[in-house]
Amino acid sequence: MSPAGVAALNLLERAGIGTDRFAALVGVKPGSVRSAFSSGRISSAMKEVLHRLANDEQIREMSAIPKHPESPAPDAPRAGRVYLIPVNKRLRLVEFSDGSHGKFLSKPDRFPVGSEVRLKLVEGDVWEPIGDYDRRGRLIE
């Protein structure tokens, strides 16, 4: 079976439509659909229906994902990854696992880009590190 045919069958399976129903949507015989999928010669009418099914399936998957996952308590410590050191060498910008951002102050040589830091909220988007870290910003347990 061709890669295009495999992808089309996977899409039909995710959408919950069989080849017989797909053939009825396109207006051809089921044998023609099986032949087109196995040879990789998918007609423009089939591509159009597959495209509509893919869009519908994508919308269905996006609507199933909750918009705002449960956020932890505001005073709970969170782990963040340093992603930028601006011109101010004491400032560190961090990104959390949920995609939100914050900043904290540290000594200039600590916490290089990519460091994992446990933080607690001070106010607004300003955080402070929690725990003992060595000179390079690695957590000492």
Does 19 or 73 have the greater pLDDT score?
Answer: 19
pLDDT value at residue 94: 94
- C-alpha torsion sign, points 100, 106, 112, 118: negative
Q: What pLDDT sits at residue 72?
A: 59
Nearest alpha-carbon partner for 53 in 19, 95, 96, 78: 19
Task: Name the 3-class secondary structure at 138.
Answer: coil
pLDDT computed for residue 7 by the predictor = 87
The model's pTM:
0.48
Average pLDDT over residues 24-33: 91
